[in-house]
A and B are shown apart, each in its own frame.
Chain A
């Protein structure tokens, strides 16, 4: 007994180091899996407010560009609205609404790590919850991962954990959008069957198989494609429409049917 106590006293620093190191390692390894990274995220009160404060200052420098971008988007939506066949704008059928949208601002962005997260200034109070899609006026951005009362972290598409259903525009050829960490303006579309006719410059949009994003949200254009090592499917490099280094105004999409879809899917999975 005496010897054990002596051992502990003699190596107490080493033991402390091992303990702390293991704690850190466990946190890191655990959060490699989806949905468990709730502890280490910048959606908490302190970091949210620090970033909000710094954001309040830096926003002013980009107001001009940001206004132009929003104006451009408004113009596009106006054109769509004016050219629509139904002239009666008051006729809104609430039973047909499948998605609601919350606007938010990016207060922290990163794109240099293998796992990038974006923090936005809306949270549970604005009904933002896990697994909602986030887009900008240019295209897809990511998926909400954690929320606090006033903030939320978004798993960017520039994240090795990200895996989003996508397809080639105007077809039903699906693939998965992933990121190989090499460049912040290029993502990869994998599992595209070999038979699919591809052309450089084709547009890639979100597919209809996910309950997170509506169909046909733009992602990017094909930059180059090659067969993978097993020669059975294509790996496609996609030049993203979004400039991931310059983000400000974003939209969070809530699919109102998602609880139903999820329930149905889990029931089906249980039955198997």
Chain B
């Protein structure tokens, strides 16, 4: 991971936080749907990462979002969870391809990419909403929120990632 990568990731970090806080937190589609597009940071993060560094970065990202949206430390808890489980999810999605030195996210098939992103979103949202609502009496409400907000997050993340993807030659 070179200097260039640090730079790109810091810029991405700041832009995604601002995008999340200033636009997507105010969306309130149907009154409650606010997609969490900052998950893209963890999706785009280089594959060959220093794991401890990556987990800390995830925690910091969640904490920044928490600071700006008055959600205590819920985003931090759920983001650090997907940061920790990302290698396992990647092994599940990409299988043996992951072992190749030249493997990149853009080399994977579209389906693999979508599965990877969807799993990140699902784990994140399950964690986030169970902690936020924190009662099994409201299981239906938790499920409703996970499904509706998860779907909107997934769609918007896919749109954004295809918008900013590097063109394959």
Q: Do A and B bind each other?
A: yes
Q: Which of B32, B55, B59, B72 has the most CB of A within 10 A?
A: B72
Residue of A at shortest CB range from B27?
A112
Residue of A at shortest CB range from B74?
A28
Assess whether A71 is interfacial by the CB under 8 Å rule: no
User: Which one of A44, A113, A119, A245 lies within 8 Å of B71 (CB-CB)?
Assistant: A113
Q: Provided the pairs A13-B55, A20-B55 are in contact, do residues A117 and B70 lie with their beta carbons within 8 angstroms?
A: yes
Q: How far does the alpha carbon of A101 sit from the alpha carbon of B28 in the complex, in Å?
A: 31
Q: How far does the alpha carbon of A21 sit from the alpha carbon of B136 in the complex, in Å?
A: 21
Interface residues of A in 146-195 (CB under 8 A from B): 153, 181, 183-184
User: Which one of A16, A28, A46 lies within 8 Å of B73 (CB-CB)?
Assistant: A28
User: Which one of B25, B52, B133 lies within 8 Å of A16 (CB-CB)?
Assistant: B52
Assess whether B39 is interfacial by the CB under 8 Å rule: no
Cβ contact within 8 Å between A24 and B76: yes
Q: Which residues of B contact A211 (CB under 8 A)?
A: none
User: Which one of A46, A51, A113, A117 lies within 8 Å of B132 (CB-CB)?
Assistant: A113
Q: Which of B70, B72, B76 has the most CB of A within 10 A?
A: B70
B104 to chain A, nearest CB (A): 23
Residue tally, chain B, CB below 8 Å to A: 35
Cβ contact within 8 Å between A153 and B55: no
Q: Which residues of B contact A112 (CB under 8 A)?
A: 28, 31-34
Interface residues of A in 120-150 (CB under 8 A from B): none
Question: B-facing mask of A23-63, CB < 8 A → 1, else 0?
Answer: 11101100100000100111010110011001000000000
**Interface SS of B by simple majority:** helix
Q: Which residues of A contact B131 (CB under 8 A)?
A: 25, 28
Q: How far does the alpha carbon of A245 sit from the alpha carbon of B55 in the complex, in Å?
A: 36
Residue of A at shortest CB range from B67?
A47
Q: Which of A20, A23, A28 has the most CB of B within 10 A?
A: A20
Q: How far does the alpha carbon of A31 sit from the alpha carbon of B74 in the complex, in Å?
A: 11
A247 to chain B, nearest CB (A): 12
Among B2-10, B77-85, B91-99, the one that faces the other chain is B77-85
Q: How far does the alpha carbon of A245 sit from the alpha carbon of B69 in the complex, in Å?
A: 16
The chain B residues found within 8 Å of chain A, CB to CB, are 18, 21-22, 25, 28, 31-34, 51-52, 55-56, 59, 62-63, 66-74, 76-77, 80-81, 83-84, 131-133, 141
Assess whether A115 is interfacial by the CB under 8 Å rule: yes
A-B contact pairs, 26 of them (CB 8 A): A13-B52, A16-B55, A17-B55, A17-B80, A17-B81, A17-B83, A20-B80, A23-B76, A24-B62, A24-B77, A25-B73, A27-B72, A28-B74, A28-B131, A40-B67, A40-B72, A41-B70, A42-B67, A42-B68, A47-B67, A50-B18, A110-B70, A112-B32, A115-B71, A115-B72, A245-B28
Q: Which residues of B contact A54 (CB under 8 A)?
A: 22
User: Which one of A14, A21, A31, A51 lies within 8 Å of B81 (CB-CB)?
Assistant: A21
Assess whether A111 is interfacial by the CB under 8 Å rule: yes
Assess whether A201 is interfacial by the CB under 8 Å rule: no
Residue of B at shortest CB range from A185?
B31
Q: Provided the pairs A110-B25, A111-B28 are in contact, do residues A24 and B59 lie with their beta carbons within 8 angstroms?
A: yes
